[in-house]
Amino acid sequence: MMMKKNNYWGAILLLIVGAAGLIGWLEVRHHQELGKIDNARFILISKQEMKLRLIDYKGNELFSAPVATGKNTGDKEKAGDMRTPEGVFQVADIQKSADWKHDFKDGKGEISGAYGDYFIRLAVPGHKGIGIHGTHLPESIGTRDSEGCIRMNNEDLNRLASLIYPPMTVVITPAAEDEKANCISK
């Protein structure tokens, strides 16, 4: 009976050591493969910090900049709700937008250059027109002042546009007040 018990625990130990070795090998292999991709990176946007970060596959911060997000708290539910979506998305396209105009419905009419030089369109299921773009109001950066998009200073936007590509992953995380609003609306 004692021999069978020792064999049982020995087999369990061998199974654990083997699994740990396999996991270690897979992790090394994964990093080797990602290392072959020069631009293995993602964008992290924190609504709590009002900050955008470009992160590489090792977790190194390659770029960061302050941002503005939607005027209203909570996750985007419908067009026109002035909320920035939360979750995991992808860069769908990087469009030149220097000539685009926008009417902010503030009585000033259409504003040229409202989006800066680029509009980084995000693939947000159920919503069109969400993206990362520049601004004609640099004083709005660091606040909740957009109609749902992520705004950046134009210089920061131009730098970001040179560092990213479709279909790069974009993660947008909520602030505490967004979590509260999300609980109330559901």
Comparing CA positions, the residue from 95, 98, 99, 73 lying closest to residue 84 is 73
- Is residue 52 a contact partner of residue 45, using CB atoms and an 8 Å limit? yes
Residues 13 and 92 in one domain: no
Does residue 66 belong to any structural domain of this protein? yes
Q: Check residues 131 and 180 and name the one with the higher pLDDT.
A: 131
Q: Is pLDDT above 60 for 2?
A: no
Q: How many CB atoms lie within 10 A of CB 141?
A: 17
Query: pLDDT for 106-127, tens place per residue?
Result: 888 898 989 999 999 999 999 9
Residues 97 and 16 in one domain: no
Q: Is pLDDT above 90 for 77?
A: yes
Q: Is 183 considered catalytic here?
A: no
Residues 117 and 86 in one domain: yes
Q: Is pLDDT above 70 for 147?
A: yes
Q: Check residues 81 and 39 and name the one with the higher pLDDT.
A: 81
Query: According to the model, what pLDDT value does residue 40 have?
Result: 86
Q: From CA 63, how far away is CA 86, in angstroms rounded?
A: 21
Residues 86 and 17 in one domain: no
Residues 88 and 15 in one domain: no
Residues 58 and 20 in one domain: no
Q: Is 149 considered catalytic here?
A: yes
**In which band, very low, low, confident or very high, does the pLDDT at 161 lie, cut at 50, 70 and 90?**
very high
Q: How many domains does the chain have?
A: 2
Residue 127 is part of a domain; what is its CATH number?
Answer: 2.40.440.10
Q: Is pLDDT above 70 for 47?
A: yes
Q: Check residues 17 and 132 and name the one with the higher pLDDT.
A: 132
Name the active-site residue from 31, 102, 127, 149.
149
Name the active-site residue from 102, 133, 136, 183.
133
